[in-house]
Structure 1
Amino acid sequence: MKLPGQAPDGGPIIYEEVGMLKTWDETDMGATDHWDSSLNITSLLLDYEAGIKPQQVIRAIYDRIDAYKIVQPSVWLHLQPLGEVLRAANELHTRWPNPDERPPLWGIPFSVKDSIDIAGIPTTVGCPALSFVPEASAPVYQHCIDAGGLFIGKTNMEQLATGMTGCRSPYGTLHSTFSKQHIVGGSSSGSAATVSEGLVSFSLGSDTAGSIRVPALFNGIVGFKPTKGTVSARGVAPACLHQDCVSFLAANIEDAEKVWNVCKGFDKWDVFAKLPSQLLSSNSNRQLRFRFGIPPAEALEACSPIYRKQFSQVVEAMSKTGGILVSLNWQPFAAANELLYNSSFVLERLTILPEGWFEKNKQLLHPVTRQVFEGALARNSSAVDLFKDLHRQAEYKRAVEDVLRLDREVEDGVDELTVMVVPTTPFHPTIEEVSKDPLGINGQLGAFAHFANVLDLVGVAVPCGAYNMEDMSGGKPIRLPFGVTILAGTGLDCELLKVVAQLEEVLGDLGQDED
């Protein structure tokens, strides 16, 4: 039978206009040349100041989207009709006629993970059988629209946000934008591809076990997981309600911070939202220096040899940039990492399904998704088990509060932030490798990622250059991106972003001199 949210050929329903005339109307656009430049927010806003029109940018983006369909046809689960986006672009001038009063995302194109509600557009969560059409939009989406953003479409994702490989979507498996052989990462798979390929400026997603940070790494972009509760999660289909965090993918730190500033704010209707009084206040007037710890050598043995080499270069570069390498207690991080999937916590994934749905309809799920849910049920965890795990979580969170901290006025006018730096994943597997061991590799990818939400940390996955990998088809070596995640304590979002901004250029240049 035909499932909701699925076209007759089994693929996603793509709402778009075909054959729309794409000609330049010089009376409308002026004599400016065809636009085809960077979608970085700062760069794009400068283009607008110079006279480029949002309509020109949108037409160019849709040309890029058309071209990229040949490479990856299943990136989009919903693509806005070109005419609708052009209409929204036209309305920007009506809504904000004074250029000096334009909001921060004026004319900025963005995509949305298909777990985030947009009124009138199906939310599939990568699962056609559970697809529905919401009547209201999620606040995080609406904030972007109210700030002048231009919505382009909803993106493919790992089914029910159940993994980090990007290989569990019934709409098609995506690959890294750097290699057709290697995984894209998940669960915010299509979102990462759209940013990496310059189809949008940023994307809205979510992160539970690494769903923003992992695809950011594998596609050479920035993934920002803020403190949970600083951005409303209302209207975002959950994976694990207690751990989920609305997050962002962007080309650089500045763009990610700009979008976060638009979207953050207390939402009383989000029961996990944090009150401002629960967050540490930031003081940008003082100088900020940082100390950093790394996993012990035995933990880093999980990494491939090339990842260990690249990580060593990052540590050296951070030290040369002013960071002070210190020994931090890794035990609470490692212990918290086990709680997400190897405890009663995994049962929370079952709460996202309607009562009795799984037993009646599990054959409609992706085989690996079904295996994850069946494994959770097979644990036979009790309420006592759950409470014991909650007690452990509280213990680990308290221990980490003493590790990742902000020390005020360590010197006159100087604050000091202590962070943890980890490889975002231990290696970059191929799609074929994942197909042979989907659960095993997914678990290995989380070696340095699963603890972040369990401990309520803020984290930034930042690109750190690239490295050569042999092409298994016999071609020339493939250049794959490498990156690390830098983590700070809850509520220290502004301080962490400031530190990462200081490091971004240095880290991004690592490995660029290799052939």
Structure 2
Amino acid sequence: MTTTMDFTNIATLQAHYRDGTLTPADLVRQLDARIAAANRPEIWISRMGDDAMDRQLAMLDAAWQQHGPAIFDTLPLFGIPFAVKDNIDVAGIPTTAACPAFAYVPDEDAHAVRKLLDAGALLLGKTNLDQFATGLVGTRSPHGAVRNALNPEYVSGGSSAGSAVAVALGMASFTLGTDTAGSGRVPAGFNGIVGLKPTRGLVSTRGVVPACRSLDCVSIFARSVDDAWQVLRCIAGHDPQDPFSRQVAMGGAQPEGKRGYRIAVPDRLEFFGDGAAEAAFDAALLAWATMPGAQIVRIPFQPFADAARLLYAGPWVAERRAAIGELFERDPEALDPTVRGIVAQADGYSAVDAFEGQYRLAALRRQAEASLRDIDFLLVPTAPTMPTIAEVQAEPVLRNSELGYYTNFVNFFDMAALAIPAGYRPDGLPAGVTIVGRAGSDHLLALAGAAFNAPFADARAAAASLAANPLPFSEPTVMLAVVGAHLEGQPLNWQLLERGARKLRSTRTSPDYRLYALAGTTPPKPGLARVDRDGAAIEVETWELPLRLFGSFVAAIPAPLGIGSVRLEDGSTVKGFICEGAALAGARDITHFGGWRAYLRDGQST
């Protein structure tokens, strides 16, 4: 049985697979028809051939026949259609980077592609881009300018142009792009979708044609933050074969309302005369400011803007020359004229210039870090203006330069970023904002972005799902038992969440503890004490906390509480809350309630 699908989210497709109203083969037929009806050949550079597609479908069908709906436990992206930017390798399919003279056929999939296929995702093909990922406009390709999904007179944004438009037009559930200077964010903003740019090194770039290898990231386009996060969970992780991959220590995150977000905004905003873009950002900023507990802080933006200019007006253009290799010398006419002009600037820089550029960047980064101290994330327009294709063709370098004003600094400063829809401009074009956080803030940004997008989708439920599904730890951790105000949903739980702690399970202590309601504590707290006799098992939760942040958590615990060792009902011993004996004298014994929650619910007023 088939159904006509609106490819809005992964959960929708999975629900149809589960109830038998859709199969991957049905989906491919519908997608082929949708792609043909759209008549947008500039989106694609190559599509999977019939034989390759049949092999994918046969593997998925065999997996379903063996496991049925339980397949999602082992293949979390079973049958979810995706495409990749054509500077990302797919075994047996030419990688061109939108330059036919550069084309080669790889023997292996890019690391990220292989992980997606291993998760059951369904590869449709490879998408168009600004040649060699050099541009933010989507017009620098021999395959034609990729037109905007909502208004074809406007640019799609680049360089991941085809990847963004394919998602916006419902040709795929998600796509992979790359991001060096904003290529995973600007196209998202211009086409009304989500663009997730992870912390540099969180996703392997092995099998990706580099633009600036020291800065490049694999990015994700999707229709929702939740979908993008699900994809990131499948492809993130250290790759020892990629010298630029790293084990990223994740920062803390918290759902909306636990503690208001502390949001930085540039002290001076630039829109290059685009009043509609300015009005859209003003409206978005107001929406952020009205989120529960939000604090808006204006910070100096000059260090960020100065760093942004370094990317193309500094020695880093030589890294783009290195990526292209000998093709530039052998056949310069094979390059797009604008790309060729940018890369040719490398001849004007020396090794001394490269070092001086690094010194200048280090100074700017230190200034930026100082301004972001005690800030959760920076909020900026995804792009300051949105030009037409004709405007870009008239002034290709100037218009492109304007689009990088709020994006170019991000990878320089080793930050994560999430571009999200923000409604529409007064002229009806899509508006987007980007939230930018320090390295390892990926989960925090996802939760904040999902909360902001609540008016545009069922994102509050997605935020709850996101909170419960962080990336796996890649660093030493400590297990902690909590018994009172730090329990999930209790007033001090945010102190765990902001340090990246994750709940493992609800359990009980061994049956030799007593629990007391302490007097004069704000918020109210219990005291847990181990006893030699007449004890009971007390409800606790175990949480996993990064070891590097355990000390700061302990330092914030006020007397008479402290951290010691707590024995659990399974016989194991973990770190946990204990109480000074002197504080228990005269405290109310609440052991018979079995736990703090039961006492708050049934016994606090008795």
Deviation at 1:172, TM superposition (A): 1.2
**Equivalent of residue 276 in structure 2, options 306, 311, 323:** 306
- How high is the sequence identity, in percent, across the aligned residues? 38
- Which string of whole-angstrom CA distances, capped at 9 and with x for unpartnered residues, describes residues 240-265 of structure 1? 01111111101110000000010000
**Secondary structure of the residue that 2:376 maps to in structure 1?**
strand
- 2:160 maps to which residue? 188
C-alpha distance in 1, partners of 2:50/2:35? Answer: 11
C-alpha distance in 1, partners of 2:260/2:246? Answer: 27
Asked if the contact 2:94–2:105 (Cα under 8 Å) also holds between the matched residues in 1, the reply is: yes
**Letter of the structure 2 residue corresponding to residue 156 of structure 1:** N
Answer with 1 or 2: which has the greater Rg: 2
- 1:446 maps to which residue? 404
C-alpha distance in 1, partners of 2:133/2:321? Answer: 12
**Equivalent of residue 318 in structure 2, options 329, 347, 359:** 347
- 2:431 maps to which residue? 482
Q: Which has the higher contact order (CA 8 A, sep 6+)?
A: 1
- 1:105 maps to which residue? 77
Deviation at 1:91, TM superposition (A): 1.8
- 1:178 maps to which residue? 150
Normalising by structure 1, we get a TM-score of 0.84
Deviation at 1:374, TM superposition (A): 2.2
The reply on whether 1:500 has 2:449 as its aligned counterpart is yes
- Which string of whole-angstrom CA distances, capped at 9 and with x for unpartnered residues, describes residues 212-246 of structure 1? 10111111110000001000000000000111111
Asked if the contact 1:39–1:200 (Cα under 8 Å) also holds between the matched residues in 2, the reply is: no
The reply on whether 1:49 has 2:18 as its aligned counterpart is yes
C-alpha distance in 1, partners of 2:15/2:321? Answer: 47
**Equivalent of residue 437 in structure 1, options 376, 395, 405:** 395
- 1:458 maps to which residue? 416
C-alpha distance in 2, partners of 1:344/1:38? Answer: 43
Deviation at 1:367, TM superposition (A): 1.2
C-alpha distance in 1, partners of 2:307/2:342? Answer: 20
C-alpha distance in 2, partners of 1:500/1:456? Answer: 19
Asked if the contact 2:280–2:426 (Cα under 8 Å) also holds between the matched residues in 1, the reply is: no
- Which string of whole-angstrom CA distances, capped at 9 and with x for unpartnered residues, describes residues 42-70 of structure 1? 1111111221212211111111011112x
Asked if the contact 2:160–2:187 (Cα under 8 Å) also holds between the matched residues in 1, the reply is: yes
Residues 253, 283 of structure 1: alpha-carbon distance in 2 compared, 3 angstrom cutoff? closer
- 1:259 maps to which residue? 231
- 1:369 maps to which residue? 339
The reply on whether 1:38 has 2:7 as its aligned counterpart is yes
Deviation at 1:33, TM superposition (A): 4.1
- Which string of whole-angstrom CA distances, capped at 9 and with x for unpartnered residues, describes residues 377-410 of structure 1? 2xx22212211111222233333334445x6xxx
**Letter of the structure 1 residue corresponding to residue 94 of structure 2:** P
C-alpha distance in 2, partners of 1:196/1:326? Answer: 33
Asked if the contact 2:167–2:174 (Cα under 8 Å) also holds between the matched residues in 1, the reply is: yes
Asked if the contact 1:317–1:507 (Cα under 8 Å) also holds between the matched residues in 2, the reply is: no
Written as runs of structure 1 = structure 2, the 5 A alignment for 1:79-158 is 79-82=47-50, 84-96=52-64, 97-98=66-67, 99-102=69-72, 103-158=75-130
- Which string of whole-angstrom CA distances, capped at 9 and with x for unpartnered residues, describes residues 308-354 of structure 1? 11111011110111321112232321221122111111211100122
- Which string of whole-angstrom CA distances, capped at 9 and with x for unpartnered residues, describes residues 49-104 of structure 1? 221212211111111011112xx222111111345424422321323522224221
Aligned Cα RMSD in Å? 1.9
C-alpha distance in 2, partners of 1:402/1:508? Answer: 35
**Secondary structure of the residue that 1:335 maps to in structure 2?**
helix
The reply on whether 1:208 has 2:169 as its aligned counterpart is no
- 2:141 maps to which residue? 169
Normalising by structure 2, we get a TM-score of 0.72
Asked if the contact 1:221–1:250 (Cα under 8 Å) also holds between the matched residues in 2, the reply is: yes
**Secondary structure of the residue that 1:310 maps to in structure 2?**
helix
**Secondary structure of the residue that 1:369 maps to in structure 2?**
helix
Is 266-275 or 250-259 further displaced after alignment? Answer: 266-275
- 2:300 maps to which residue? 329
**Equivalent of residue 349 in structure 2, options 381, 384, 391:** 381
- 1:473 maps to which residue? none
**Secondary structure of the residue that 1:270 maps to in structure 2?**
coil
C-alpha distance in 2, partners of 1:334/1:33? Answer: 51
C-alpha distance in 2, partners of 1:366/1:294? Answer: 36
**Secondary structure of the residue that 1:372 maps to in structure 2?**
helix
Is 455-464 or 284-293 further displaced after alignment? Answer: 284-293
- 1:425 maps to which residue? 383
**Letter of the structure 1 residue corresponding to residue 227 of structure 2:** D
- 1:74 maps to which residue? 42
C-alpha distance in 2, partners of 1:260/1:81? Answer: 27
C-alpha distance in 1, partners of 2:455/2:253? Answer: 25
**Letter of the structure 2 residue corresponding to residue 289 of structure 1:** G
C-alpha distance in 1, partners of 2:260/2:202? Answer: 24
C-alpha distance in 1, partners of 2:273/2:9? Answer: 32
Asked if the contact 1:58–1:86 (Cα under 8 Å) also holds between the matched residues in 2, the reply is: no
- 2:330 maps to which residue? 360
- 2:361 maps to which residue? 393
Asked if the contact 1:194–1:200 (Cα under 8 Å) also holds between the matched residues in 2, the reply is: yes
Specify every segment of 5 or more residues in structure 2 that has no aligned partner in the other structure, as ranges: 459-606
